[in-house]
Structure 1
Amino acid sequence: MKADYHVHTEFSDDSEYQMEQVVRDSIVMGLDEICFTDHVDYGVKNDWDDGEKIRYREGIPGEPENMPILNVNYPLYYKTYQKMKTQYGDKITLKLGMEFGMQVHTIEQYEKLYAKYPFDFIILSVHEVEDKEFWTQDFQRDRTQQEYNERYYEELLYLVQNYHNYSVLGHMDLITRYDKAGTYSFEKLKPIFTEILKTVIADGKGIEVNTSSHRYGLSDLTPSRDILKLYRELGGTIITIGSDSHKPEHLGTFIDETKQELKTLGFKEFCTFDKMKPIYHQL
């Protein structure tokens, strides 16, 4: 079983990868299953139909000069997904998901969105705190390395304690990707890591291994091997593997290598999802 459980399409504001092309490419490369997980980031992005003036950001290399800052067009997303299932369902298993880029003040909005569609899988991610982005350094600015790391994980802990309609935590230590001061001490953060992971496990949820760590040139996995070992030691078993793909060259990458890493760390299984329930597969 080879599955990619973190896949973005043209319905994410940072991707132009057409959903149908994602499906075709997945079939060609021999993937058995994929889950679409397009971005929703309440607090910093407009909904496509909210009547507000559309905002734009400057495109990064490979993108148009100006990129609209929008969440998913939900009805069209669902309609297109259904069309793909009908057209390609005999060749590949397709699952409906989203990546919820949550903040503590946006929980109510996600509760309403979750209730509208028959999701198979939800990634709970923290992409910004206090409506401040990490990749721009707005969140880290005027904070010490200790302060912004601790504040990030405090946000994540509050979310897992107060929001329950999700499947796994996405790229749990995402702040590391944008930490210009280097990797902050695992031991100093271990108490809050432990509290977060115990909460996740008690709630019947899991974590993902996000293979984008390779293309970002990080020195460790995402989340780190130390976090993954702690999760296993605490009794965690629900793990998904996702490329976080936004382009054809990202799709399905480093999945086999990640399975080997998980075996080395003592895990025996990984998961796919159906109707928000984990399905276990041998690594």
Structure 2
Amino acid sequence: MFLSDYHSHSLVSFDGKFPMIDMAQAAVAGGLNELCITDHCDFLDENGVPVRTYDWDKALAEYDAADGFHSRTGFSLRLGLELGMPYLDPAVAERICAQPRLDFVLGSVHNQSPERGGVDFYYADYSTAAACREALDDYFASLALLAETDFYDVLAHIIYPLRYMKPADGPVTLEGYEDRLDALLRTAIGRGRGMEVNTWCGRTLEDWMPLLKRYRALRGEIVTVGSDAHAPDNVGKGVPQAFELLREAGFRYVTVFRRRKPEFIPII
């Protein structure tokens, strides 16, 4: 069965430590057919400080150093990018995305809006369910802005803040956000974009099924699978199970990308 991991990070990311070649070797050893490196390019850092640069020289040097993995028989290494909140500076986002060797762009929101301080959602206040709802309101407002741009191929980890929300006064779900999610997915579909199933290194799987079913009902077709690995040991974690979820949700294809163009691979 074809298996692809379209969300991974190397030492080019601020929170990565491993070269791309190590990530590629782990992918091959784990039985993957394709790995896309999607290093971080967030327009706000984890503390909410604006950032408007990406080190393409470093990324391309890392990618070229893994040359033996670019088109091996049965395996491909692709060059991607995880672009965070690009709507904050469209002109810079356009320049960053103009790299001719770029295969794929994940569009993401990791930070609270500048109006709320811009700090990464990892550091937000989740002490109560009400605080979690306030954070989710802010998050989905930002995702809606992202979805209207041309600076992504697939929306990354749509349920991202739920990773960290464990308030003392009860579990937090996306109940009540159905209309916002539908609008978000419709926007992406209408612009020829898609969504990803992000396994968070195998920790989030069944959580995706309701969203996948809704995306499918809205006639969404472009879907990628990613582990969000930042180390070789996590490359591909949860990917086979995510492919099973896609099949159960009625998808017949998974999507890969070549120079920002989608290709559809049958899920067998």
Structures share fold, TM-score greater than 0.5: yes
Letter of the aligned partner of 1:10 in structure 2? L
Query: Is 1:109 matched up with 2:92?
Result: yes
Alignment of 1:143-182 (within 5 A): 144-161=131-148, 163-181=149-167
Letter of the aligned partner of 1:225 in structure 2? M
Counting aligned pairs with the same residue, the percent is: 29
Q: CA deviation at 1:183?
A: 4.8
Moved more, 90-99 or 2-11: 90-99
Work out the CA distance in 2 between the residues paired with 1:140 and 1:152. Answer: 17
Alignment of 1:12-27 (within 5 A): 12-27=13-28
Query: Is 1:214 matched up with 2:206?
Result: no
- Secondary structure of 2:123 counterpart: coil
Alignment of 1:187-202 (within 5 A): 187-202=175-190
Work out the CA distance in 2 between the residues paired with 1:102 and 1:11. Answer: 18
Moved more, 82-91 or 225-234: 82-91
What does the per-residue CA deviation read over 1:33-57, in whole Å, with 9 as the maximum and x for residues that have no partner? 11110011122279xxxxx9xxxxx
Q: CA deviation at 1:231?
A: 0.5
Aligned to 1:269: 253
Q: CA deviation at 1:168?
A: 0.4
Aligned to 1:66: none
Aligned to 2:221: 237
Cα contact 2:127–2:166 (8 A) shared by 1: no
Aligned to 1:205: 193
Cα contact 1:103–1:128 (8 A) shared by 2: no
Cα contact 1:6–1:244 (8 A) shared by 2: yes
Aligned partner (choices 85, 89, 92) of residue 67 of structure 2:
85
Letter of the aligned partner of 2:234 in structure 1? H
Cα contact 2:17–2:231 (8 A) shared by 1: yes
Work out the CA distance in 1 between the residues paired with 2:201 and 2:253. Answer: 21
Query: Is 1:4 matched up with 2:2?
Result: no
Aligned partner (choices 95, 107, 114) of residue 124 of structure 1:
107
What does the per-residue CA deviation read over 1:200-259, in whole Å, with 9 as the maximum and x for residues that have no partner? 0000000010111633xx5843xx321111111000011111111111221011211111
- Runs of 4+ off more than 4 Å: 69-72, 138-143
Work out the CA distance in 2 between the residues paired with 1:238 and 1:100. Answer: 18
Letter of the aligned partner of 2:190 in structure 1? A
Work out the CA distance in 2 between the residues paired with 1:108 and 1:257. Answer: 39
- Secondary structure of 1:186 counterpart: coil
Cα contact 1:13–1:70 (8 A) shared by 2: no
What is the root-mean-square deviation in Å for CA atoms of aligned residues?
A: 2.7
Aligned to 1:252: 236
Cα contact 2:46–2:120 (8 A) shared by 1: no
TM-score, scaled relative to structure 1 = 0.82
User: Kindly tell me: are residues 214 and 30 of structure 1, through their superposed partners in 2, closer, same or farther at Cα, counting changes over 3 Å?
Assistant: closer
Work out the CA distance in 2 between the residues paired with 1:249 and 1:188. Answer: 37
Q: CA deviation at 1:71?
A: 7.0
Q: CA deviation at 1:26?
A: 1.9
Q: CA deviation at 1:139?
A: 8.8
Runs of 5+ consecutive residues of structure 2 not aligned to the other structure: none
